[in-house]
Copies of this chain bind each other. A is one copy, B any other.
Amino acid sequence: MTATKKKTLRERRHAATTEAMLEAAEHVMVAQGYDQATMQQIAEEAGCAAGTFYLYFKNKQELFEALLVRYLEALYDGCEARMAAVEDPIEKIRQSMVAALEYCHDHTGFVQVAYKAMPVRHRALYERLAEIGWTRPQQFRRRVEGYLRQGQKQGRVRSDVPADILHDFIDAVIFSFMEMFSAAPGRRGAREQLDLLWGLISGGLLGKEVL
């Protein structure tokens, strides 16, 4: 009991420090970008010595990756929770967007990290994360593509465009608008943003006619 509690205490302490470090890293990297952010700056922000970071993260690159993974895990968790609550495949996609936008509203830092701090373009980063065994994005994507295909079979989604391209389309719009929203937060309510995006996206997915 005591041992367990002790261990838990240590672990808690460790987790809290890790958390504080990730926050400091986020803050500085969002402000400066990955390359321009120095470990000294981040350490100062975190209120500890630069060397201390190397007890928690192997190097700067892994610090950044941990930062991103932490956010993405939460984001995907939210998306999947919302998706599970409905049955209809198209509605699942819509709900996933709702979750993403909500998360983006509550964690402005995330999008800014993802867009301003990335040491490499996001495609390359996903590959890197896959290399270290974190493949959730790929899995999630496959799932959404499945829903899109169901929508195509039901005739509710255009079939002249392959599902993977439709997914790219959704991603393109969401990511881009998330960046805009996070850069100018509060400009519009989350509800309104969602309707806007869904209008644009669903129009593209439906694609009945060409102007």
Contact = CB atoms under 8 A, between A and B. Distances in A.
A123 B203 contact: no
Given A116-B121, A196-B165, A206 B209 contact: yes
A171 interface: yes
A50 to B, nearest CB: 12
A76 interface: no
Interface stretch (A11-19, A99-107, A135-143, A153-161): A153-161
A109 to B, nearest CB: 14
Interface in A172-186: 172-173, 175-177, 179-180, 183
Contacts of A208: 203, 206, 208-209
A59 interface: no
A205 interface: yes
A1 interface: no
Contacts of A35: 35-36, 119
A199 B168 CA distance: 14
Contacts of A172: 172-173, 175-177
